[in-house]
Structure 1
Amino acid sequence: MSGGHLRDSASPGAGLAVDGVFWEIGSRVILDDVGVLAPGGTVTGLLGPNGSGKSTLLRVLAGAQQAGRPGSGDAAAPAPASGPDVTFDGADLAALPRRERARVLALVEQDATTDLPLTVLDAVLLGRIPHRSLLAGDSDADRAAAHAALDAAGAKELADREVGTLSGGERQRVHMARALAQTPRLLLLDEPTNHLDISAQLHAMRVLRDLAADGVTVVAALHDLNLAASTCDHLVLLDHGRVVAAGPVAEVLVPEVLEPVYGVRVDVLRHPRTGRPVLSFERG
């Protein structure tokens, strides 16, 4: 379960498969030979303390950030010919044209902002761009998809608001809606419950479970280990840019795995209705 360069041992099958991801800034290694598997049609939680490399890894997987060359010390250097390998359902994501890749995957980042005077509906309609010709305007089908996405994300009442007037939690729901309107088969999310109150957090995680039930492969970076415990099927734990544990929830969320990474004492209980782990923490 643990080790410096552990490889996720889930069955590859359909889904996301990643191998050999490196990223450095100066002499600081952010991602160190990361290999990850996210089984198809499941929710995979990407866990780890601040600075463990979760956000960087998601951006590399989405093609928004290019992986660095190991040992170069240059985060902007092109990746070596030997890697990284990022495939989804057997297809090389890096080899797909940008527009085609946008029909396959969507990325929901933390605190994405815009200075453009967009209404929420217009912002969500941006998720439909990969599905229409370059010069086409919004169709009735696009608008129907956008409204359905807003409803699913719990943001339908925001449709006519300007994005710049929204609170952090409202913006987070709109980012989710934009990604849902994109109808991806692979959804990557960086802290999707950021800024949300408890009810909205639970709603967001329910949306992810429903997507997985419909066959979407979901990978979400999460800070809240109890949300991960109650929602995820599979977990990947990063520490200092390396995978230190990966597997089913019940195998990763155990004291011997979590305590060295987070530096806290962990007690694991069982939820009386679901049987899933419930974690309690004390300073070590």
Structure 2
Amino acid sequence: MTTTATGARTATTGTTPGPRGLDAERVSWSVGGRLILDGVDATAPAGAVSGLLGPNGSGKSTLLRVLAGVQPPSDAGARVAFDDADLLGLGRRKRARVLALVEQEASTDLPLTVLDAVLLGRIPHRSLLAGDSDADRAVAHRALATVGMTAFAEREVTTLSGGERQRVHMARALAQEPALILLDEPTNHLDVAAQLDALRTLRALAEDGVTVLAALHDLNLAAQTCDHVVLLSEGRVVAAGDVRDVLVPDVLDPVYGVRTEVLTHPRTGRPVLSFELPG
């Protein structure tokens, strides 16, 4: 194995190249004359869990929406590729067969059951006039089982708690069967056990070859789960690479305005972070 400049490991043997993962270049976005993203270059290695980190207002949610094609970049020179395919050049339906986006505050007031909400993830895979097939329903039920929501299949989404809705949105994304999944704070509203379960699901997806990029607020969850991280500050990438290289005091302290101490988890060997205010 070799290590790239950003810490991603790539195989050196074999003649057939593997998936290239997500590669974004020169991504900018502004609103009302204010620059939110300023020429962001970012990667998410194939078949890995990458964390998108940064303080509130650093541009994480905006970057995910631009990468997903929900909102166009401000700079016409921006490039967003996945496995060498131009994501921004794909039609909406075709792009939805490649990637799924789980937004932080996705909600609906429509009287949908949980199962019906998850079945929305199957729309890109069937003809426009076709109804749900037995195969679609099987995929949706597997997605609900993965997130622990099988017992809620016939409940209306509007009756669920915030954490339960978050798990339904995850199941809808899984039902798309994406090769790339983008998530904005997937542990939002979840209790500790549900957070760990959600991150275990992301790890399982990566082990199955899915490329995962998740915006995470909790740096310790990122340290525990991610293979690779991208750190944003004021709309720019300030560091990217292996968690052990990025989640260190010299990088984190000026970005978050804290003093960081890095410990080592006695069982996993991964970083455990402790913070205090300077002064």
What's the TM-score bracket when you normalise by the shorter of the two chains? Answer: over 0.9
1:27 Cα deviation (Å)? 3.4
Aligned to 2:39: 33
Which segments of 5 or more consecutive residues in structure 2 lack a partner in the other structure?
11-18
Q: Deviations over 1:34-55 (max 9, x none)?
A: 0001110000000000000000
- Letter of the 1:120 partner, please give it: V
8 Å contact from structure 2 (residues 248, 262) kept in 1: yes
The 5 A counterparts of 1:260-279 are 260-279=254-273
1:11 Cα deviation (Å)? 7.3
- Letter of the 1:231 partner, please give it: T
Q: Percent identity of the aligned residues?
A: 72
Which segments of 5 or more consecutive residues in structure 1 lack a partner in the other structure?
1-6, 69-78
Aligned to 2:173: 179
Count of residue correspondences: 266
8 Å contact from structure 1 (residues 8, 36) kept in 2: no
2:153 to 135, 152, 159: 159
1:137 to 131, 140, 164: 131
Partner SS state of residue 227, structure 1: helix
8 Å contact from structure 2 (residues 113, 155) kept in 1: yes
The 5 A counterparts of 1:1-284 are 10=8, 14-68=20-74, 79-80=75-76, 83-284=77-278
8 Å contact from structure 2 (residues 239, 246) kept in 1: yes
8 Å contact from structure 1 (residues 9, 37) kept in 2: no
8 Å contact from structure 1 (residues 10, 37) kept in 2: no
- Letter of the 1:122 partner, please give it: D
Aligned to 1:75: none
- Letter of the 1:39 partner, please give it: P
Runs of 4+, deviation exceeding 3 Å:
7-13
TM-score of the superposed pair, with normalisation by structure 2:
0.93
1:8 Cα deviation (Å)? 5.4
Partner SS state of residue 104, structure 2: coil
Partner SS state of residue 18, structure 1: strand
CA distance in 1, matches of 2:100, 2:23: 16
Partner SS state of residue 131, structure 2: coil
1:214 Cα deviation (Å)? 0.2
Give me the CA root mean square deviation.
1.3
CA distance in 2, matches of 1:278, 1:11: 22
